[in-house]
Structure 1
């Protein structure tokens, strides 16, 4: 018999609470997280930061429909030890990368705050639909976590009341990270125009009160399935509709063919300037930490 806790490991769980006009996503990343993190030897604070970002990417990207739809999250600053964090999600495939100053990071100690990592930074979230439409919102990196900044994005840019909770744990078998997203939809159904969204709507106050009771230990408990977690939170509601979403995987899209097509767009003189002493153009993929040597 399959362990119930294994069912939604590295897979999104989608759910709705019809009587409360709410929808949600839940995910626990395990093997896919280790695979993405293994590309770089990140120190603990950066590992925690990127693990949180990848969970958020899965939760928010999981709201999109269509194989070509993509969510990209980018956090950037000019005065913090972390210069750039970027990750994206497309049809279950995820990738992420952090560029940081090692010396300045080492001065911060073992558990630096979000402000210590980024300083006066900002977070840009971009949704690209399968129909080619593009939506972007930018919010300051304020609060205790990336999750708090993403909540602010949904309220300010999309006027959708949203709860986001993320937990990360280091274990003997690697890193486990999990998260919960819950949203209030004013019209009660996905796909309809959102009118008169109220942060103080009684249904949303009820759902958010339940959602915020989730603990860090519950999120990262590998013995508790995400479905069981949702039922633990909302089991007294009139109805819960839950179904499996996409499985997640490492999705770096770098290939020799891809880079050859990109390089081919440059004029010949610019390609000459890119070549090394051996006549090759070397492309370094920051996401997967691989070099591609092109005989362009």
Structure 2
């Protein structure tokens, strides 16, 4: 295994690991979330099915966000008009993550312990938005793909996004485990890039390409227990799967943390844009305008 740029301690949790299989024209990302996922979940008293769903979304957000350059942002939003989970959103920016779920508690209580994706979302959709930052005076770009929330999991919906919106064959595996000590969530994303290394033009991508078939079959053997094993490093997982390859390049990615961007200054600037009459209508009996951040469950009170 070739580690770039230098030999570093192995990666275990709350940090992305990127890898590529040059001879197979494939790249991947792998992550295990511990402190990050528990910090995000602690903002609200989520019931177990919603905790599991949001933990899976955070893993997916980290894996997909890790495909971006350092100044980009990934936002994943699942939404429905007729489902129990009305809104699920998480985003990733430069290693900082946040997430939130809005749902109908009364309807959720009648579903049991392990509701299906269809039961939670009904006829919902998944929107994935990539935003690239500005660098060297070049304006950033924003692009979005939307796919139906179909399949058994959010992971399957994200695989469908890459195939339909980007025409990139993609394998995703996610595992979530909750217990008395909190939640651990982990996942791996592997993609076939027909023209090789990252950043090169993706031409003639074929889902049935023999190199991709091999990479996907091997990746599909990854078990939940391996992903969640705290004693098994991310490098160890990649080596177990692809040790027969001639070359494996690995590179540590961003360290991950919960990063909500709410602040007094931000909300002050937003409120100040409203005319005085509209601001007056927002005030409570104490004369304050109270803003509640759904992501971190903090309240900000203003008297402007």
With structure 2 as the length reference, what TM-score do the two structures score? 0.94
Contact 2:97 2:260 in 1 (8 A): yes
Q: Where do 5+ consecutive residues of structure 2 fail to align?
A: 1-7, 135-139
1:242 partner SS: strand
Residue in structure 2 matching 1:10, options 11, 14, 33: 14
Residue number among 188, 192, 206 corresponding to 1:184 in the alignment:
192
Give the distance between the partners of 2:10 and 2:211, measured in 1 at CA.
32
Query: Structure 1 residues 11-20 or 167-176, which shifts more?
Result: 167-176
CA-atom RMSD in angstroms: 1.2
Counting only pairs closer than 5 Å after superposition, residues 26-37 of structure 1 correspond to structure 2 as 26-37=30-41
Q: Look up the SS of the partner of 1:198 in the other structure.
A: coil
TM-score (norm 1): 0.96
Q: Pick from 122, 125, 128: which aligns with 2:125?
A: 122
2:164 equivalent in structure 1: 156
Aligned partners of 2:280 and 2:11: how far apart in 1? 52
Distance in 1, Cα, partners of 2:150 & 2:50: 18
Alpha-carbon distance change, 5 to 104 in structure 1, aligned in 2, over 3 angstroms = farther
Classify the secondary structure of the residue corresponding to 1:213.
Answer: coil
Q: Contact 2:130 / 2:142 at 8 angstroms: preserved in 1?
A: yes
**The 10-residue stretch of structure 1 (283-292 or 269-278) with the greater mean CA deviation from structure 2:** 269-278
Q: Report the equivalent of 2:241.
A: 233
* Counterpart in the other structure of 1:48: 52
Q: Which residue of 1 aligns with 2:4?
A: none
Contact 1:5 1:222 in 2 (8 A): no
1:242 pairs with one of 250, 254, 258: 250
1:134-170 per-position Cα deviation (integer Å, ceiling 9, x unaligned)? 1100000000000000000000000110000000011
Shift of residue 172, structure 1, vs aligned partner: 3.1
**Aligned equivalent of 1:58, options 57, 62, 66:** 62
The answer (yes or no) to whether the contact 1:18–1:239 under 8 Å persists in 2 is yes
Is 1:98 aligned to residue 106 of structure 2? Answer: no
Asked if 2 retains the 8 angstrom alpha-carbon contact of 1:5 and 1:226, the reply is no
Residue equivalent to 2:221: 213
Structure 1 CA distance, aligned partners of 2:202 and 2:99? 31
**Once the two structures are superposed, what CA deviation does each residue of 1:3-23 show, in whole Å capped at 9, x if it has no partner?**
x99733100000000100000
* Structure 1 residue aligned with 2:261: 253
Q: Mark the runs of 5 or more structure 1 residues left unpaired by the alignment.
A: none
CA contact (8 A) 2:10 2:235 kept: no
- From 84, 88, 113, the counterpart of 1:81: 84
Partner of 1:263: 271
Matched-pair contact (CA < 8 Å) for 1:5–1:225: no
